Amino acid sequence: MTLASLLLVICAAGLHAGWNALAKRGRDPVVFLWCATLASTLAVSPFGLWILARDGLSAAAVPFVLGTIGLHALYFYALGRAYATGAYSLVYPVARGLGVALVPIVAFLAFDERLSALGATGVALVVVGIVGLHVLPAGAAASWPGRAILWPVLTGLTIAAYSVLDKAGVARLNPVAYMLLLEAGCALLGLPLLWLRADSVRRELGSWRTIAVAAVMSALAYTLVLFAFRLSKTGYVVAARELSIVLSAVIGSLWLREGRLGPRLAGASIVLAGVACVALAR
């Protein structure tokens, strides 16, 4: 993994953990995420429209754009439902962890990308660390009401799917333009919330400054990842991005007051070791 791509995903990891924590604090996380997507569209528009006017939209990129819009819409909905029913420091590792475990497998099938022995070891350590983050804290399982764990699992599946799709998509379209179309498409698909959850939309818009911050963080984080996809293998980028899990353990335990910092950091240290292996792999 190149130094440039590693720096991109480290920055993306910090931004990603931060905006997810803001989404967790929303009164209605599904609506908060839609409002943030709408704000992201506005933020990215000047840059994305300029690039589209300069380069145009390749017909070869259209299927990937449409596919990622559908997958991201499902991702945002599942993530919002997950945060509405589970602790941030548990939802985040489960959702992100499935992406790490599945993306290299799908990337191998789709792109014939082969991880080195060190890279494969790193991915395995990341997965083990994620399991530790979920299992080590006593009583963690009790904090999942009923079938609520299905939402972070669904979130993880969509992460794996859109990561592989976007790897191919940004090879056909500039990442900033790709990001604009992605965000705009998700914002359009979420418009029914204005009627279905009008009261929630009004309440969330009362915290428009927080939404604006989350929107900029979200758009910038994923744009950095899209550029990293151009520089390195899909499995390496997605695994290194999971450094955000280390941050989620600290944010969830201290800022959101979910407790059990020690066990969370124990699992996070294993994740960090895995990220180091992935970063050093060639």
Percent of the chain past pLDDT 70, that is, above it, reads 84
Residue ranges per structural domain of the chain = 3-280
pLDDT for 235 equals 66
The tens digit of pLDDT for each residue in 29-84 reads 999 999 999 999 998 899 999 999 999 999 999 999 999 999 999 999 999 999 98
Give the burial class of 259: count Cβ atoms within 10 A of its Cβ; 0-12 exposed, 13-18 middle, 19 or more buried. Answer: middle
The token duo for 230 is 């151009």
Higher pLDDT, 178 or 264: 178
> In the numeric block, which tokens belong to residue 83?
């945060």
8 Å CB contact between 36 and 211: yes
Judge whether residue 186 has pLDDT over 90: yes
Question: Residue 236 corresponds to which amino acid?
Answer: Y
Give CA separation, 79 vs 54, 72, 84, in Å: 35, 10, 9
pLDDT digits (tens, 9 = 90+) for 114-155: 767 877 787 788 778 777 766 655 444 445 555 567 888 899
| 82 contacts 155 by C-beta, under 8 angstroms | yes
The model carries a pTM of 0.81
User: What is the amino acid identity at position 90?
Assistant: L
Asked whether the beta carbons of 241 and 16 are under 8 A apart, the reply is yes
Q: Which of 267, 233, 228, 229 is nearest to 247 (CA)?
A: 267
